[in-house]
Chains A and B, each alone.
Chain A
Amino acid sequence: MPQLKQVLEEEVLPKVRKPLRYLGNEYNAVRKDWQAVKLRSLFAFPDVYEVGMSHLGLQILYGVVNAEPDYLMERVFAPWPDLEQELRTRAIPLFSLESLRPLADFDCLGFTLQYEMSYTNILNILALGGLPLRAQERGNEAPLVMAGGPCAYNPEPLAEFIDFFVLGEGEEVILEVFAVMAAHRAIRQGKQDKKEVLKELARIRGVYVPSFYEALYDEQGKFQGVKVKEPGAAPRIVKRVVRDLDQAYFPARPIVPYLEVVHDRMMLEVLRGCTRGCRFCQAGFLYRPVRERSKDLLLQQAEKISEHTGHQEISLTSLSTSDYTCVEPLLQEVLNRFEGKNIGVSLPSLRVDSFSVNLAKEVQRVRKTGLTFAPEAGTQRLRDVINKNVTEENLMEVAEAVFQEGWTQIKLYFMLGLPTETLADLDGIAALAAKVLLRGREILREKGSKQRPTVTVSVSSFVPKPHTPFQWEPQDSIALLQEKQKYLRNRIREKGIVYHYHEAEVSFLEAVFAKGDRRLGQALEEAWRLGCRFDGWSEHFRYELWREAFRKTGIVPEEIANQPLTYQDALPWDHLDTGVKKEYLRREREKAYELATTGDCRFAPCSVCGICQDLDVDTRLRKGE
């Protein structure tokens, strides 16, 4: 497309604020010969470049697919409003970064669903690419549109727009999916019979074709479950899991952006999964079981990525890196090997204990200003309800270690609106923060420091998520959440405490889209038509347009977010199987109300969540290897 290239480079890109978002010629980007491959795919990230390029999953899938001679994968990100406007005025279709081709030229588009608030961007990408929004309006000529990622475990709000979803870990299944598509086209002179190829794809474990299922409702419009419509489609779709992380593909040559992106460093994935069992945490249930990567392999991978990227920092990533059984020796060796090259190490998440503070001390040769921890709730009672096995003692120990070691700031994450919450729990947040601040002052004074400690209290609102023990829970109304936010603000009086909270309207929409069924697609489409984009960005979020979209489509979002569900109710995601049994989630919820905690199966006896029993996988720890 030399013409499009010229128009973009000469006329469009000079007018947008960050043209580097759209170039696609970064170091390690792959530009393959279009004619030399059998299948052309496009990874579509429904957020801006800087967010998408910080996502390890993109780098993994891009690497896996492009390593195959028969396939190519290019990228597209949600265009920032300035580019969208330029494209619309000039009637230029949205294009892939690598070869500047319109979306419609590809055989397959894959969206990653990381966050509910990116859904309007999905519709916007399809529309700007010149593709019909609804799956049934896209014929044999159009690319197949697939989607995966954590939100694919309840994809019903997107069911009308996406041809098929993939449940589970993408690198485990993507090549099977592409093999089916390529073979299908090979015997049809490069063309596809869409219905037929979807049937073939539906035979792959982990693939969910929503048009093969029908959502049922009673006379009152109450959701009754999902029924198989297409003969042969599986009644339940089970997720795909990498059994052994040492055998899994890892990207040795990740793309190195020109722009400064959100996570501008190399990512070393030390483990996958977390079995701490926090009852609100969807990731904890979706990514089971815990699988660690061996230390020696990680060191080799670090050498390779460093050689091929030139990054100045290594991040040891996972849901909870301090839980990695070899974290200390790994950290020591990484520091030893890379110190001479002036490559630093960072830990993205810290458990609330002094062990973690010691790890942080190791990696931060340069004193950064502060550390972040997540006690999540303000009282022991509520922490027991959510199974966050952290005590006030743990937190005070952490606070002492932090201030003793010379940091002056500590950031604490909490959640408002958790099940069973009372005002005493909010008072607890204020009291904990005050206690930490006080201890910080004492320690800094004892050390003769003139600096004053700061405690940042960052409060989000509880969002009930599918496939968690709290999936039946209602979310507090927006008004109640706001009242609680205000209440807490009034309880926090000390000068050294900074208080932040998230917009309640956003959390409300998250809950609506996390738990909604197929009917929500109409409201989503309407909101997009009204102009909603980048809803996760506060400068773009327009709640009044969302209200209008719900009004126009006759959907009452409060019925989805704010109503409790009973164990008898059919759930829109009941046919999608994470491997964790629904019965287990129910038991966990009941234990929550009894203030009974559940141990981590890495250290405590197996609590029989079902994952290892049903998916033929097991927890893999590397300690002692």
Chain B
Amino acid sequence: MRLCLQYSKEEEARFLSHLDLMRAMERALRRAQLPLVFSEGFNPHLCVSYASALAVGVTSEGEYLDLPLKGDWPAEEAVQRINAVLPAGLKMVAAVPVTQRRESLMAIINLARYRVEIPLRQAIEQKEAEEMIAQVLARPAYSVLRRGKKGERQVDIRPGLWQLQGWAENNKLILHIAVQTGSQGNVKPEEVIEMVKDTVSFSRGENFWGENIRIHRLGLYIRENDKIYSPLERA
């Protein structure tokens, strides 16, 4: 059987890179004494597939992985067993058996939501925050520089920025962002932050911004036509 598990990466684990997380997860899965599945061949590796990588410093409450197991296991029990042996800051939230879906998580997930906190050097009113967001959304295009294997290239992120809301809160600008993710197009929260800063700095200046921006992923989703599903609903 295959389980789809939702997990969180909290404060205590926020400095883990995706590679660190995969290593920590594999060890925890081994400690949980579940009937794991390994690949065939000379160098068998544990079969787990992750929905998406999360950058160092970013926390999340909506990460997903698929875990094949030998035999049938109640999803609840698997969650409990794994939670008993996970290191600090990683936690299984829920699980369902995969019954319908044939594609990998990575192939079907196309939407990510984030909450971003940007410290400001001066307090602002709610109305000002809303104006800033309106200015950002009014831009027809915004190109960022991406470095890939083939060198640098300019990419327009505006089409992939699906939603942006903003609030003023205790000298902070809080953003809720929904962006396209996955193989069809991928926008990073850092790029949206750059777009916001760039747009607002025009009137407010560079000194407007404080340090230590925090990024938290609210979840990964599947957008089909105009409906949005969580990966657990599309298992």
The minimal Cβ–Cβ distance linking B119 to chain A, given in whole angstroms, is 10
A311 to B23, CA, bound (A): 10
Chain B 81-106 residues near chain A, CB threshold 8 A: 85, 87-89
Q: Say whether B16 contacts A312, CB under 8 Å.
A: no
Report the Cα distance A260→B22, complex, angstroms: 11
- With A259-B20, A310-B31 as known contacts, state yes or no: A26 contacts B212, CB within 8 Å: no
Chain A residues whose CB sits within 8 angstroms of the CB of B43 once the complex forms: 366
A20–B56 alpha-carbon span in the complex (Å):
10
- Chain B proximity of A342: nearest CB distance (Å): 5
A593 contacts the other chain (Cβ, under 8 Å)? no
Verify B23–A260 contact, CB threshold 8 A: yes
B29 contacts which of A308, A309, A310, A366 (Cβ < 8 Å)? A310
Contact residues in B for A13 (Cβ distance below 8 Å) = 15
Given contacts A19-B15, A25-B89, contact A14 B30 (CB under 8 A): no
Fill in one digit per residue for A505-542: 1 if any B CB lies within 8 Å of its CB, else 0: 00000000000000000000000000000000000000
A296 beta carbon closer than 8 Å to chain B: no
Closest Cβ–Cβ distance, residue A577 to chain B (whole Å): 43
Q: Would you call A14 and B57 a contact (CB within 8 A)?
A: yes
Residues of B within 8 A of A258 (CB): 16, 20, 23-24, 87
Query: Which of B16, B23, B43, B46 has the largest count of A CB atoms less than 10 A from its CB?
Result: B23
Q: Which chain A residues lie closer than 8 Å to B29 at the CB level?
A: 310
By beta carbon, the residue of chain A nearest B16 is: A258
CB within 8 Å of A: which B41-69 residues: 42-44, 46, 56-57
List the A side residues contacting B15 at CB < 8 Å: 13, 19-20, 23
Q: Which bucket holds chain B's interface residue count?
A: 20 to 34
Which A residues are CB-close (under 8 A) to B130? Answer: none
Q: Which residue from chain A places its CB closest to the CB of B86 in the assembled complex?
A: A27
What CA separation (Å) do A308 and B15 show in the bound complex? Answer: 23
Interface assignment of B164: CB less than 8 Å from any CB of chain A: no
User: Which residues on A sit within 8 Å (CB–CB) of B85?
Assistant: 27, 310
Q: Which of A14, A306, A342 is B46 in contact with, Cβ under 8 Å?
A: A342
Q: Smallest CB-CB separation from A19: which chain B residue?
A: B15
CB distance from A38 to the nearest CB of B (A): 27
Contact flags A332-356 to B (C-beta < 8 A → 1, else 0): 0000000001100000000000000
Q: Which residues of A contact B26 (CB under 8 A)?
A: 310, 312
Question: Which residues 133-159 of B have a CB within 8 angstroms of A?
Answer: none
Cα A433 to Cα B69 in complex, Å, equals 50
* Chain B positions within 8 Å of A256 at CB level: 24, 27, 87
User: Are B31 and A307 neighbours in the complex by a CB distance under 8 Å?
Assistant: yes
B38 at the interface (CB under 8 A from A): yes
A261 to chain B, nearest CB (A): 11
Q: With A13-B15, A25-B87 in contact, do A341 and B30 touch (Cβ < 8 Å)?
A: yes
The contact string, 1 if C-beta is below 8 Å from chain B, for chain A 243-277, is 00000000000001011100000000000000000
- Given A14-B212, A19-B15, A258-B16, are A308 and B23 neighbors across the interface (CB < 8 Å)? no
Closest Cβ of chain A to B32, distance in Å, is 8
Closest approach, in angstroms, between the C-beta of B69 and any C-beta of chain A?
Answer: 14
**Distance (whole angstroms) from the CB of A442 to the closest CB of chain B:** 27
A10 interfacial by beta-carbon distance below 8 Å: yes
CB distance from A29 to the nearest CB of B (A): 8
A27: B residues at CB distance < 8 A:
24, 27-28, 85, 87-88
Q: How far is the CA of A27 from the CA of B25 in the complex (A)?
A: 11
Partner pick for B87 among A26, A306, A307, A312, CB 8 A cutoff: A26
Size of the chain A interface, CB-CB below 8 angstroms: 27
Q: Does B194 contact A (CB under 8 A)?
A: no
Task: Please determine whether B42 and A308 come into contact, CB atoms closer than 8 angstroms.
Answer: no
A309 and B27 form a contact (CB under 8 A): yes
A11 within 8 A of B: yes
B131 interface hit (Cβ, 8 Å) = no
Asked whether, in the complex, the Cβ of A10 is within 8 Å of the Cβ of B212, the reply is: yes
Question: What per-residue 1/0 map shows which CB atoms of A441-474 lie under 8 Å from chain B?
Answer: 0000000000000000000000000000000000
Q: Select from chain B the residue with minimum beta-carbon distance to A340.
A: B38
- Shortest distance from the beta carbon of B17 to any chain A beta carbon, whole Å: 9
In the complex, A27 Cα to B30 Cα: how many Å?
A: 13
Q: State whether the Cβ of B76 lies closer than 8 Å to any Cβ in chain A.
A: no
Chain B hits for A20, CB < 8 A: 15-16, 20
B190 within 8 A of A: no
Closest B residue to A343 by beta carbon equals B30
Min CB distance A369 to B, Å, is 13
Question: Which residue of the partner chain, among A25, A306, A310, A366, contacts B12 with CB atoms under 8 Å?
Answer: A25
- Residues of chain A within 8 A (CB-CB) of B20 are 20, 258-260
Please, what's the 1-or-0 string for A358-378, where 1 marks a CB less than 8 Å from any CB in chain B?
A: 000000011100000000000
Q: Which of B1-45 contact A (CB under 8 A)?
A: 11-12, 15-16, 20, 23-24, 26-31, 33, 38, 42-44
Q: Is the CB of B212 within 8 A of A11?
A: yes
Interface residues of B in 196-235 (CB under 8 A from A): 211-212
Q: Give the nearest-CB partner of B21 in chain A.
A: A258
Separation of A570 and B176 alpha carbons in the complex (Å): 75
B212 and A309: CB pair below 8 A?
no
Per the bound structure, the CA–CA distance linking A256 and B28 in Å amounts to 10
A311 near B38 (CB under 8 angstroms)? no
CA distance A30 to B16 in the complex (A): 20
| Nearest A residue (CB) for B41 | A366
Taking the closest CB of chain A, its distance from the CB of B11, in whole angstroms, is 8
Within the complex, the shortest CB–CB distance from B87 to chain A, in Å, comes to: 4
Q: Are A310 and B27 in contact (CB under 8 A)?
A: yes
Give B95 Cβ to nearest chain A Cβ, in Å: 19
Which B residue sits closest to A258, measured CB to CB? Answer: B20
Chain B, Cβ-Cβ closest to A10: B212
B42-A366 in contact (CB<8A): yes
The CA-CA distance from A366 to B31 in the complex, in Å, is: 24
Residues from 358 to 413 in A contacting B, C-beta threshold 8 Å: 365-367
Task: Provide the bound-state CA to CA distance between A310 and B16, in Å.
Answer: 18
Chain A, residues 1-40, CB within 8 Å of chain B (1/0): the string is 0000000011101100001100101110000000000000
| Chain B residues with CB under 8 A of A9 | 11
Distance, CA A19 to CA B12, complexed state (A) = 11
- Bound complex: CA of A310 vs CA of B23, how far in Å? 10
Is the pair B30, A310 in contact by a Cβ cutoff of 8 Å?
yes
* Bound-complex Cα distance A26 to B23 (A): 12
Contacts of B89 in A (CB 8 A): 25
A211 to chain B, nearest CB (A): 42
What separation, in Å, do the CA atoms of A309 and B33 have in the docked complex?
11
Q: Which residue of A lies closest to B214 (CB)?
A: A10
Chain A residues with Cβ below 8 Å from B24 are: 27, 256, 258
Choose one: A307, A310, A342; the contact of B38 (CB below 8 Å).
A342
The answer to whether A25 and B88 touch across the interface, beta carbons within 8 angstroms, is yes
A26 to B85, CA, bound (A): 12
In the complex, how many angstroms separate the beta carbon of A15 from the nearest chain B beta carbon? 10
**A307 surroundings in chain B (CB, below 8 A):** 31, 33
CB distance from B38 to the nearest CB of A (A): 5
Q: How far is the CA of A20 from the CA of B21 in the complex (A)?
A: 11
For B31, the chain A residues whose CB sits under 8 A away are 307-310
Among B15, B38, B211: residue with most chain A CB under 10 A = B15
Closest 7 CB pairs of A and B: A310-B27, A310-B30, A19-B15, A27-B87, A310-B31, A25-B88, A342-B38
> Interface residues, chain A, CB within 8 Å of chain B?
9-11, 13-14, 19-20, 23, 25-27, 256, 258-260, 306-312, 341-342, 365-367
Task: Using CB atoms and an 8 Å cutoff, list the residues of chain B in contact with chain A.
Answer: 11-12, 15-16, 20, 23-24, 26-31, 33, 38, 42-44, 46, 56-57, 85, 87-89, 211-212
Report 13 cross-chain contacts, Cβ distance below 8 Å, ordered by A residue.
A9-B11, A19-B15, A20-B20, A25-B88, A25-B89, A27-B24, A27-B87, A256-B87, A306-B30, A310-B28, A312-B30, A342-B38, A366-B43
6 additional contacts, CB 8 Å, given A14-B57, A308-B31, A310-B85?
A: A11-B211, A27-B85, A256-B87, A260-B20, A309-B27, A310-B27
